[in-house]
Amino acid sequence: MIHDVNPRLLRAFVVFAEELHFTRAARRLFVAQQSLSRDIRHLERLWGRTLFDRDTRRVALTSEGHRLLPAVRHALSAHAQLSEELDQSQVSVSSRPLLVDVALHGSTGPRVLAAAREAAPGLEFVPRFHSGLTRAATEIADGRLDVSFGRVAGLPQSVRDGLEHQLIRYDQLAVHLPPDHRLTALPHVPLAALAGETVYAAAGNEDTTEWTDYARTLFAGRGIELAPPFPKIEGEVEFRRVMDKHGGSVLANINFSDVPEMALRPLSDPVPLAPVSMVWRRGLRHPGLRALIDAAQTLGAAERWLERPPDSWLPDIDITITADRSNHG
């Protein structure tokens, strides 16, 4: 019966159904592959039906798996909302700290958080510093995080369905170049000039797949190669060491200047923009959330965060999701 099933097993089912790959699903869930396999088998025994066809070459949902998947997603969303309601009944909502993942210091999150703290000094915000909305979305779904920032369109539809989000900024993108690179003499780098180049965009980091997906879309048809997968790089010092050792160019936003040894040049012709949304769990109620939204809107209006240059570029899916969000309020 559904009330006898640990929500962990339901999350394992949904994530494995989305990935159909044990390694990728285990990384998203932050568990060992053996644990994930054990959870899937346990769930199949509890329900008395096979959810996946598995052999040495492929994994596929069975017809029963396809049939049950929407209901399991709905159950997880309801469970998260119920947890939030119970939390609010047990503790004053205004006294509970709001957990906010602000990612890197050169990104939008830290500025919004600082402005919210200044405008609402009586509220408590606890920041986290994890780069990557893919990871943050998993923690939001699990109740380990309240708010994050990033590119919503890079998340699977099933993940987006459990989130509320509001577009707050368009980041103009740039490229970090080694000091002796042929393009460092330019004040800005036309995208066409990167043809034949290999550019790092965090491929191999499972926490930031939404960023790598953006880069892959941007580079497609332009002759720009995405740097091959590399394990997640932890910390500014290690990032500098790896970039210095391997050379090459790095896709970044124009505010990211953690590698002073490299030249940061805005991209142009067209100007690629990366949408930044504030993201939170559907049904979350907390005065800190309102303070963050107000702070983002105030900063955005003052600094014209949502203005798009006439020669700008966005992936089609980002345009569609933004339009859908606007049409639904």
Output helix, strand, coil percentages for the chain, rounded to the nearest 5. Answer: 45, 20, 35
Chain-centroid distance, C-alpha 302: 26
**Residue 196 DSSP SS3:** coil
Please report how many Cα atoms fall inside a 13 Å half-sphere around the Cα of residue 159, on the Cβ side: 26
For 54, 257, 274, the CA distances from 214, given in Å and listed in that order, are: 31, 20, 8
Quote the radius of gyration of the chain (alpha carbons, Å): 21
Give residue-wise pLDDT tens across range 278-326: 999 888 889 999 999 999 999 999 999 999 998 999 999 999 887 655 4
Give residue-wise pLDDT tens across range 228-284: 887 766 656 666 666 666 567 889 888 765 566 778 899 999 999 999 999 998 888
Residue type, 100: V
Domain with CATH 1.10.10.10 in the chain: 2-89
Residues 202 and 208 sit within 8 Å (Cβ to Cβ): yes
Q: Classify each residue of 12-25 as buried b or exposed e, where b means 16 or more C-beta atoms within 10 Å of its C-beta.
A: bbbbbbbbeebeeb
> With 50 as the cut, is the pLDDT of residue 4 above it?
yes
Q: What percent of the chain has pLDDT over 90?
A: 50
What's the rounded Cα separation, in Å, for the pair 273 and 115?
23
Where is average pLDDT lowest: 70-79, 136-145, 159-168, 187-196? Answer: 70-79
Give me the numbers of helices (H) and strands (E) for the chain, helices first please: 11, 13
Domain with CATH 3.40.190.10 in the chain: 92-170+275-327, 172-272
Strand intervals (E) in the chain: 52-54, 59-61, 98-101, 125-128, 147-150, 163-177, 189-190, 198-200, 225-226, 249-253, 263-268, 271-281, 312-313
pTM over 0.85: no
| Amino acid 115: pLDDT | 94
Give residue-wise pLDDT tens across range 122-158: 999 999 887 789 989 988 988 889 999 999 999 988 8
Residue with the two structure tokens 């923690």 = 139
What's the rounded Cα separation, in Å, for the pair 186 and 205?
30
- Nearest 5°: the CA angle 280, 156, 199 is 100
Give residue-wise pLDDT tens across range 67-123: 999 888 888 877 777 766 665 544 444 568 999 998 765 679 999 999 999 999 999
What's the rounded Cα separation, in Å, for the pair 274 and 65?
35
For 59, 207, 314, the CA distances from 21, given in Å and listed in that order, are: 7, 16, 30
Q: 92-170+275-327: what CATH class?
A: alpha beta
**CATH match for 172-272 among 3.30.360.10, 3.40.50.1100, 3.40.190.10, 3.30.70.100:** 3.40.190.10
Q: 2-89: what CATH class?
A: mainly alpha
> With 50 as the cut, is the pLDDT of residue 329 above it?
no
